[in-house]
A = this chain, B = another copy of it.
Amino acid sequence: LRLDASNLPAFARGCAVLAAGASGDPELGLVIALRAVEEHGPIEVIDPADLDDGALVMPCGAIGAPTIADERIWNGDEGGVLRDAVERLHGSTVRALMCFEIGGANGLLPVGWAARLGLPLVDADGKGRTFPGLHQQAMHLAGVPAGPMAMTDGRGNTLVLRAVDEGWAERLARGVAASLGGVCAGALYCMPAERARTATVAGSPARAVAIGQAVAGTREARRRPIAIADALGAAMLIEGRLVDVERRAGHGFVQGAATVQGAGRDAGRQLRLELQNEYLLALEDGEVRAAVPDLICVLAGDTGDPIATEGLRYGQNVAVIAARAPDIWLTGDALALVGPGAFGYEVEYASV
């Protein structure tokens, strides 16, 4: 796979779908990435098996408040600053970048940085989607340490963080991001390629492109939700209209629920979505129809555009789809990290 002007818009659309409802618009990141490939040429997306065992892989992206990230003007040098800091910390050359989170804007930023640095992007990410927690990553599950983490604002300020545990890493990283203006660029879970082959969610960038291309290849806009579901191997949970949205912001998270009233062949059915930044549970008649880490997406019924939790409005026509999580998230340990219980829901995970 090679990312260039021909498929970056599709990639960005795929990243938006994989955000699972999290805010963090990939549009700005797309503009930066397009500009970067125009100036520096396309980005090779490579299998980590094609790198030497010891080749240093740098997972990176934005850390902080996504709503601020949407308005943050990056200068494009952030990736280089992070690379320099990581090389200093590891005493080794960075051979490839990786998105630590493929969903939303975080799928795009590393692409622009890779283009500018002339480095390939590994065809994997840390989450396969978006999760709110910095440590909700496949690397964490595999025992790769998050630190030393490098963070920069791209204005010349750089911080390196070594935390005693993942809870502190998260707390300190958010504190640093706040000091740096609400959001910053960060590199964490740096590891040799040998580990990146198994301690990551494989194929996420390619999956994002496939989703976006499925949309682009579907002329009739109303057919796009189904095209996206097909590309993801997802089930269509319901098509209908939003009849209730309750949402409250607190502790930097959007929490709430939304109810979809079925229409057409789904008439008479009701699906309730539980959300915390992302869509985490889909319930029907009190039964779990889909649960995190399965990917639950709300798509606009007439365009297939993914609707973020913050974009839900009463009366919208929507299609709700759910795709089975990558296998790496389905072990007991993984479900303890990213399953319903990790978000405070007392329900059992059952694959969609």
The contact of A175 among B164, B165, B179, by CB within 8 Å, is B179
Q: Which residues of B contact A164 (CB under 8 A)?
A: 155-157
- 26 residue pairs of the A-B complex, CB under 8 angstroms, read A155-B164, A156-B163, A156-B164, A156-B165, A156-B168, A157-B162, A157-B163, A157-B164, A157-B172, A158-B161, A159-B159, A159-B161, A159-B162, A159-B176, A160-B160, A160-B161, A171-B179, A172-B176, A172-B179, A172-B180, A175-B175, A175-B176, A175-B178, A176-B176, A176-B179, A179-B179
For window 145-162 of chain A, which residues contact chain B by CB distance below 8 Å? Answer: 155-162
Q: How many copies does the complex hold?
A: 2
A334 to B253 Cα, complex, angstroms: 47
Q: Which residues of B contact A179 (CB under 8 A)?
A: 171-172, 174-176, 179
Cβ proximity bits A172-199 to B, threshold 8 Å, 1 near / 0 not? 1011101110000000000000000000
For window 294-340 of chain A, which residues contact chain B by CB distance below 8 Å? Answer: none
Using C-beta atoms within 8 Å of the partner chain, give the interface range for chain A.
20 to 34
Q: Which residues of B contact A161 (CB under 8 A)?
A: 157-160
Q: Which residues of B contact A159 (CB under 8 A)?
A: 159-162, 172, 176
A59 to B307 Cα, complex, angstroms: 53
A301 to B175 Cα, complex, angstroms: 44
For window 10-27 of chain A, which residues contact chain B by CB distance below 8 Å? Answer: none
Shortest Cβ gap from A84 to chain B (Å):
10
9 new A-B contacts at CB < 8 Å, known A157-B161, A159-B172, A176-B176: A156-B163, A156-B165, A157-B163, A159-B161, A171-B179, A172-B176, A172-B179, A172-B180, A176-B179
**Closest residue of B by beta carbon distance from A179:** B175
For window 116-167 of chain A, which residues contact chain B by CB distance below 8 Å? Answer: 155-165
Shortest Cβ gap from A304 to chain B (Å):
41
**Closest residue of B by beta carbon distance from A81:** B162
A249 to B159 Cα, complex, angstroms: 30
Q: Which residues of B contact A163 (CB under 8 A)?
A: 156-157
The 6 closest A-B pairs by CB, nearest first: A175-B179, A156-B164, A160-B160, A158-B162, A157-B163, A159-B161
